[in-house]
Amino acid sequence: MSLKDLISPFYVWQRAFEKPYTQKHPIQERPGAPRYRGFHVNVLEECVGCGTCETICQNHAIDMVQVEGLEPKPGDSGLRPKFDYGRCCWCALCVDICTTRSLRMSNHYAWITEDPTDFNFIAGADNMSWNGEEYGYRRDDDYHLLRGERVKMEMLAPEEGLKSFEEVMKGYTEEQAKDEADRCVECGLCVATCPAHMSIPDYIKTVREGDYEKGLRILYETNPFSSTCGRICTHRCEEVCPVGHQGEPLAIRWLKRAIVDRVPRERYREILGDEVVENGKQVAIVGAGPGGLSAAYYLRRQGYGVTVFEAQARAGGMLRYGVPSYRLPDNQLDKDIEYIRSLGVEVRFNTCIGREVQFAELIDDYDAVFMAIGLNVPSSLRVKGEDHPRVLSGLQVLDDVASDKNPGVGKNVAVIGGGNVAMDAARVSRRMGANVTVLYRRRIADMPADPEEIHESQAEGCTFVTQAIPVEIKDADNPDQVTIVWGEAEMVADEKGGRPRPVLQEDRMHEETYDCIISAIGQGGSLDFIPGDYRDQIEFKWGKFVPGDYQQTALQKLFVGGDIANNTADAISAIEDGHHAARGIHKFLTGELVA
Amino acid sequence: MNSVDEILDFAIEREQAAADFYQDLAERASSAWMKDMLLSFSKEEMRHKGKLKSVKKGEKLLSSEQQVQDLKISDYLVDVEPAGDISLQDAMIVAMKREKAAYRLYSDLASKVDDPDVKDLFLGLAQEEAKHKLYFETQYDDQILRDN
């Protein structure tokens, strides 16, 4: 062995202090491509917890879980996706389907930890180094797995609609309904928001499957006014539909109608089953509107004898006398009501409590009483000159039209108000040939009327003058006309977060003359029929009942609901109040509920 | 009436008179549920009285420079005769107009005095009444002008 051979191993030491050619942690030096499908990122504030990511994940790598500090709220389940990286295959379907685009991927792909449970994490909530990462995969703006466009429903053209009181919306064909139902992601956010908590994804599924009988059974579990609500519901469910974040929300209301339209009334008994086993107890209901008849339906199904006292000659309440037939045809309202009555619910028409029957009689003669008398006293403007004969009430105009009377609005009409009564008074006036101007104190965005009603009123040619406050009514030169003085308003923010308040600008006044002025600024209730002896046992606030649990009042036998006991004043809330009260009355009469 | 205590006593008496007014109206109310509503107005006035008593003991009033929003809702509403069969809407009109009158009274008194401290007190009381008026106007806007 030569000397060189002996010392050559030591030559390597001369390299020991040189910069190495290899990298110790090469991946730290190599960021992922800008659109790499790396670890997930979720913007918690944008996510609504719809769970569509969980549903689409083929590897069951996502679970929707609660996150500390996040509470459920309308349109947000409060849940957020938790990822299991032992299962994830980085396909990014979850990102592509995300309804709000809150779910994204970062371009990070290296994660070293000794604890395998770390690989289960809540994106956006757990503190990860890639949270807020600028790069990574996002769904492109023009790439949609979900269809954002709603299936359009055939409707009468505005000029055609004005010629009669024929229903404007024509309903979906079977094929259209299935097409629209296909857009549902079955998240259930709508269920939480619907006042009646209808099983919306379940009945939409029956539309998809063409099983309308099953659909009807599901509808009637929570709503015996499904034909009505399929047409005129305020559909708050649609406001929270997550599909609406990237397009138009599901037409949930129209899909409800699609079911009912396909089941003839004659088949209801066979499909819903109407065996009633009498339990011998009697319940009185005051008011045959949606609240009263909803309670009547659910009580009757449980075997109670039900008598409904109705002041008017026909049932339906505000649905009958306040909603014109171009929105809700009489035969569709009758379809709902006739089925309820067919179960043996007795309705005593033209019977007013305090006049034909006394409040005390109800309390004494029945095991329980449910009161849903609605709001049927129009608020008046209380401005100077309001008692002019050409000032009409919106409710009276609608009542006249529903009763086939001519309200005599003339050819040039001003409607004051921004609710559904105002919109309907405007639209019926248009149908009677009048030019209509709607004067509203606030802005269109603040109107309490349904957006569709506002839109259709405008399409039918009603002119909207907003931020206009009436200050005086005067005689016009022509005794058959009337003059209104109104001032412009500026909007100011409400300090307590309420709706913005209009403030009159006294230097900007206007005068206009019309054939009539229709006042539709709101309604109140009449509670005068309740004798003083009972008053102290019942709580009221701002002219309404204040119900307790299950709609019960402190006068134990008395349950209340509908517009006279809630602040939402819509049919679906009244229907739920009636259903809730029916549960409460059953509990009360079986000893489960003690006030 | 030119000392601070005298002025506050006057204001306290006015609040008591207002509370008595609603109490009396409640007793005459033919509608059962309106009785409760009017009694709640009376309690509201007693709350105002309590506030002024606290001011007398040293608590601060609203600054006269702090402007309270005037929605002007009551300005163009017709006067209402308080009667036993008064409705909710009319009761609220009465309340708004009474607060407005009180505001005007204190504003007028402020304009008639020279002492800056007394003037400031009157203006502060006026602002307090404006706040009460705003409360009733806001309720009127929410409860009566529901669809407007």
- CA separation for the pair A223, A293 (Å, rounded): 10
Residue B99 included in any domain: yes
Dihedral (CA of A461, A406, A290, A527) sign: positive
Cα dihedral A553/A556/A562/A564 (nearest 10): -50
CA distance linking residue A98 with residue A104, whole number of Å: 9
Statement: residue A252 has pLDDT above 80: yes
| Structural domain containing residue B124 | 4-143
Q: Please tell me which residue, A506 or B5, carries the higher pLDDT value.
A: A506
ipTM associated with this complex: 0.81
3-state DSSP of A488-514:
EEEEECCCCCCCCEEEEEEEEEEEEEE
Is B148 inside a domain boundary? no
Confidence of residue B62 (pLDDT cuts 50, 70, 90): low
- The shortest CB-CB distance from A543 to any of B88, B141, B148 is to B88
The residue of chain A nearest to residue B89, with distances taken between CA atoms, is A379
pLDDT band at A594 (very low <50, low <70, confident <90, very high): low
Query: What pLDDT score was predicted for residue A186?
Result: 95
Q: Which of A557, A565, A562, A577 is nearest to A539 (CA)?
A: A565
From the DSSP assignment, how many helices (H) and strands (E) are in chain A? 21, 22
Q: What is the sign, positive or negative, of the torsion defined by CA atoms of B33, B36, B39, B41? A: negative
Q: Does A472 touch chain B (CB under 8 A)?
A: yes
pLDDT for residue B65: 66
CA distance B79 to chain A (A): 9
Query: A21-122 — its CATH code?
Result: 3.30.70.3270
Looking at domain A378-523, which CATH architecture does it have?
Answer: 3-Layer(bba) Sandwich (3.50)
The DSSP output letter for A552 is B
Judge whether A21-122 and A378-523 match in fold.
Answer: no
Instruction: Indicate which CATH number applies to the domain containing B72.
Output: 1.20.1260.10
Judge whether residue A293 has pLDDT over 90: yes
**Mean pLDDT value of segment A339-365:** 96
Q: Does A528 touch chain B (CB under 8 A)?
A: yes
Share above pLDDT 90 across residues of chain A, in percent, rounded to a whole number: 82
Counted across chains A and B, CB pairs separated by less than 8 A come out at: 102
pLDDT digits (tens, 9 = 90+) for A165-197: 999 999 999 999 999 999 999 999 999 999 999
Query: Token digits for A568?
Result: 């939402």
Inter-chain residue contact A542 with B147, CB threshold 8 Å = no
- Domain ranges (residues) in chain A: 21-122, 166-270, 275-376+527-589, 378-523
Average pLDDT over residues A458-481: 96
The band of A23, judged by pLDDT with boundaries at 50, 70 and 90, is: low
**Predicted local distance difference test score (pLDDT) of residue B57:** 81
Asked if B146 and A418 come within 8 Å (Cβ–Cβ), the reply is no
Name the least confident of A112-116, A135-139, A256-260.
A112-116
Contact map slice: A 367-386 vs B, CB within 8 A: 379-380, 382-384, 386
Number of domains present in the structure of chain B: 1
Residue A556, pLDDT above cutoff 80: yes
CB contact under 8 A, A521 and B145: yes
A223 C-beta neighbours (distance < 10 Å), count: 31
Element (H, E) at B11: helix B4-28
Examine the pLDDT at A15 and tell me if it is beyond 80.
Answer: no
Chain A residues with CB under 8 Å of B37 CB are: 540, 542-543
Residue spans of alpha helices (H) in A273-380: 290-301, 318-321, 330-342, 359-365
Sequence-distant (≥ 6) Cβ neighbours of residue A589 within 8 angstroms: A281, A304, A367, A368
- State residue B64's pLDDT score: 61
* Chain A CB contacts of B145 below 8 Å: 379, 441, 521-522
Whether residue B14 is contained in a domain is answered as yes
Give the per-residue pLDDT at A46.
Answer: 95
Residue A278 tokens read as 């009498």
Give A502's contacts in chain B (Cβ within 8 Å): 71
State the Cα–Cα distance between residues A265 and A260, nearest whole angstrom.
9
A518 or B115, greater pLDDT: A518
> A380 versus A414: which is more confidently predicted?
A414
Between A27 and A291, residue with greater pLDDT: A291
Mean of per-residue pLDDT scores for chain A: 93
Report the range of poorest mean pLDDT among A4-8, A47-51, A152-156: A4-8
The model's pLDDT over A81-132, given as tens digits with 9 standing for 90+, comes to 999 999 999 999 999 999 999 999 999 988 888 888 889 999 999 999 999 8
Q: Is the pLDDT of residue B33 over 80?
A: no
Q: For residue A26, is pLDDT > 70?
A: no
Residues of B in contact with A379 (CB under 8 A): 89, 144-146
**Which residues does chain B have within 8 Å of residue A495's beta carbon, measured at their own beta carbons?**
69
Residue A231 to residue A335: CA distance in whole angstroms: 13
B128: in domain:
yes
Tokens standing for A217?
Answer: 């059974």
Query: What pLDDT is stored for residue A593 in this prediction?
Result: 72
Task: State mean pLDDT over A22-34.
Answer: 70
- How sure is the predictor about A487, in pLDDT bands with cuts at 50, 70 and 90? very high
Per-residue confidence (pLDDT) for residue B112, from 0 to 100: 81
Q: How is residue B110 annotated by DSSP?
A: H
Q: Is the Cβ of A504 closer than 8 Å to some Cβ of chain B?
A: yes
The kind and range of the H/E element at A437 are strand A435-440
Interface of B with A (CB under 8 A): 30-33, 35-37, 69-72, 75-78, 80, 87-90, 93, 138-139, 141-148
Among residues A373, A368, A376, the alpha carbon closest in space to that of A559 is found at A368
Task: Encode pLDDT of B78-100 as tens digits.
Answer: 998 887 778 888 888 988 998 89
Q: Is B143's CB within 8 Å of A495's CB?
A: no
| Distance of residue A503 Cα from the nearest chain B Cα, in angstroms | 5
Q: Would an 8 Å CB–CB cutoff place A446 in contact with chain B?
A: no
User: Do B141 and A503 count as a contact with CB atoms less than 8 A apart?
Assistant: no
Q: Is A354 on the interface with B (CB under 8 A)?
A: no
Least confident of A500-509, A563-572, A586-595: A586-595
**CB–CB contact B89 A421 (8 Å):** no
The CATH code that applies to domain A166-270 is 1.10.1060.10
Shortest CB distance from B89 goes to which of A379, A441, A471?
A: A379
Q: Is the pLDDT of residue A241 over 60?
A: yes
Q: Residue A8 carries which DSSP code?
A: G
How confident is the model at residue A105, as a pLDDT?
96
Sort strands A79-84 and A62-66 into parallel, antiparallel or unpaired: antiparallel
Task: Please give the average per-residue pLDDT across A489-503, as a whole number.
Answer: 89
- Least CB–CB distance from A527: residue in B33, B75, B145: B33
Helices (DSSP H) in A118-233: which residue ranges? 158-161, 174-181, 189-193, 200-209, 212-222, 226-232
pLDDT band at A465 (very low <50, low <70, confident <90, very high): very high
Residue A112 is predicted with a pLDDT of 85
Radius of gyration of chain B (CA): 16
The CATH architecture to which A275-376+527-589 belongs is 3-Layer(bba) Sandwich (3.50)
**A17-39 mean pLDDT:** 76
Compute the distance between CA of residue A336 and CA of residue A34 in angstroms, rounded to an integer.
58
C-alpha to C-alpha distance for A548 and A561, rounded to whole angstroms: 10
Helix, strand or coil, per DSSP, at residue A550: helix
